[in-house]
A and B are shown apart, each in its own frame.
Chain A
Amino acid sequence: MSEHILELNGLLAAFPPGMPVVFATEDLGFRSWISSLGLEAIAIDELSVPDHRSPAVVLIPLDYSGLPAPSILARLLSGIRVLWIPLASFDSDYESACYSLSLLFASDLETAVEKNRRLISLLLTAREPLEFEGGGTAASVVLDDELRVSSRTRVVLAEGEQTGIGTYCEVALPTEMTDFAQAYEVGGVFCVEGILVSRHRQMPENNCGEFREARRVVEHLRARLPLLLHVEDNRLVESESLADVYETLRRVTNEKYDLLLTELAFGSNEGIRDRVDWRMNAQVNEGCGGIHLGVGDGLTGAHIDFVSPVGSLRGA
């Protein structure tokens, strides 16, 4: 326990020094664990209680059905600094929640943001295709002249600002949904050491069957890691590693996308890499460095991330 307490400064770097921070989550057992670390933990609905009003909140939903409606939530969180840790999109049982938070406590957000800035600078200035290599991965990325990325270049949240923990730990290039066009072109072979499956908060109930099936497929694939993943023209293509699950992967991630990449991201939270447990379906794992590729949007089907943590971008 004391080990975690000593490492707390990493996560709390998202807030101004000395500012009281409240952890809000709905599970009593998880709150007790957080409290045992010497931190203040409250239920999410207690955010509306004036005595619990805090200028800084780490919001950790474990089950989206327990969250207030977006309009109410927006009012509750208005004007305060909020760091979201969306465990509900991944695995959120007690063990998984404690694992994720422990690794986040051990994270150095300042160093991760410095890495983000270096990666973004590289994206900004690259004139040639970026080469990503190492650990069995050999791939190239061609970039458009206009890029939109999700990431953080500042460590401390401003007053009234909200963000997700993922922005600290990666530089992500999501796909534009207007025309499914990507601002990048990826091709090559990726040595995948970790796989994660997740869903969006607003995934309709009638897509949950595909999500459950996606979980089973991912469990099946985890048992045979590492995998060699082949990507051509921004699309996962059939290969020996995926031969028996390729059609299932297509279906559970919305076959309309046909395994087109919906995310290309570079991890920046490298300090935790040696502590990552790839058996855990935890968002914190994907940011531990290297590159990860996502298929599916989490709404119309599952979102699956394939993490290749060892290689690096040339020049990054």
Chain B
Amino acid sequence: MGRIVCVVEGLNRRGEPLMRILALQNVTDLLGKLAASNRLEESVYAPQVAVVSCGAGKSSFLPCPCIDLGLADTNVGAHS
């Protein structure tokens, strides 16, 4: 298994994190797991690359003023 990098690029129109998932392996299985609990917004570009939007606008990152839009209702902002 290679490394997986999930890049949070911004927020979509519903305020959900818009992410690009990069992997050195086929991400089909990973997307299947994500689909079980999250909505997948955009299509998979290639077996190793997917652009998805996940969750309900919440992030588990520590809030950081440099990278946090502060738009979420809770203290845990969605990151940009």
Contact = CB atoms under 8 A, between A and B. Distances in A.
A176 B8 CA distance: 13
Contact of B9 (A151, A170, A202, A286): A151
Interface residues of A, number: 62
A124 B24 contact: yes
A73 B42 CA distance: 25
Contacts of B2: 124, 145
Given A70-B71, A143-B3, A150-B79, A298 B13 contact: no
B10 A177 contact: no
A265 B54 CA distance: 23
Interface stretch (A29-37, A152-160, A214-222): A152-160
A70 B1 CA distance: 41
A281 to B, nearest CB: 12
Interface stretch (A5-13, A18-26, A100-108, A161-169): A161-169
Interface string B1-18: 111111111111101001
A235 interface: no
Given A161-B12, A172-B67, A147 B77 contact: no
B36 interface: no
A110 to B, nearest CB: 15
Q: Give chain B's interface residue range (CB within 8 Å of chain A).
A: 35 or more
Interface string B36-80: 000000000000000000000000111111111111110111011
Nearest to B20: A153
Main secondary structure of the interface of B (DSSP, over half): loop
Interface string A174-187: 11111010000000
B65 A201 contact: yes
A274 to B, nearest CB: 22
A159 B79 CA distance: 18
Contact of A162 (B8, B10, B20, B64): B10
A298 B64 contact: yes
B3 to A, nearest CB: 5
B22 interface: yes
Contact of A294 (B1, B18, B66, B72): B66
Contacts of B15: 74
A149 B5 contact: yes
A254 to B, nearest CB: 11
B13 A79 contact: yes
Contact of B80 (A71, A145, A164, A176): A164
Nearest to B9: A152
**B6, B18, B60, B63 — most chain A CB neighbours (10 Å):** B63
A74 B71 contact: yes
Nearest to A88: B65
Given A161-B12, A175-B62, A166 B67 contact: yes
Interface string A121-141: 001111000000000000000
A91 interface: no
B66 A145 contact: no
A201 B6 contact: no
19 contacts: A89-B66, A120-B5, A120-B7, A125-B3, A148-B61, A150-B67, A151-B7, A153-B7, A158-B18, A161-B12, A164-B80, A167-B10, A174-B62, A175-B61, A176-B61, A198-B65, A200-B64, A202-B75, A297-B62
Interface of A: 64, 70-71, 73-74, 78-79, 84, 86, 89-90, 120, 123-126, 143-154, 157-164, 166-167, 170, 172, 174-178, 180, 198-202, 262-263, 265, 283, 286, 294, 297-299, 303, 305
